[in-house]
Amino acid sequence: MAKLTTEELLDQFKELTLLELSEFVKAFEETFEVTAAAPVAVAAAGAPAAAADAAEEQDEFDVILEGAGDKKIQVIKVVREVVSGLGLKEAKDLVEGAPKPILEKVAKEAAEAAKEKLEAAGAKITVK
C-alpha cells in the first residue's frame, strides 16, 4: 500500500461523514491504545465562542413579578396557576414580597404565556 501524505489523508477525512469519522477515531484509539484528547481541547477552546452565540440568542427567560396592582387576590390565583405546587400562603407571600421571580429559566413561549396571564390579572411583569 502506498503511503499517503498528510494532505491526502485530510482530503480523505473531508469526504467522511461525522459518524464515519467518529467511528474511525474510536477504531484508531483502540488499535493504537491512545486517546484523542486534542480534539476535546479544541472543542473546549471553542466553547467561549459558542457561549457568546448563546448569549445573543437567549432561550431561557425569567418572569419577575414587579407588583400586584389593585387586584392582588386575582394575581395570587394566577400565580398559583402559573407556578405549580404553590399553596395559597406561598403564593400570597410571593405576591406580597414583589419584586420576586415567579418563573426562572423557562422557554420563551412559557414566559410570554405567564406574562399575559399575570398582566391580565392586573400584575406588573418583567421578562428577562
The CA distance from 54 to 46, in Å, is: 13
What are the tens digits of pLDDT across the range 58-106?
778 888 888 888 888 898 888 888 887 778 888 888 888 878 888 888 8
Collapsing DSSP to helix, strand or coil, 125 comes out as strand
pLDDT in tens, 30-65: 888 887 654 444 444 455 555 555 455 677 888 888
Q: What whole-number distance in Å separates Cα of residue 86 and Cα of residue 97? A: 15
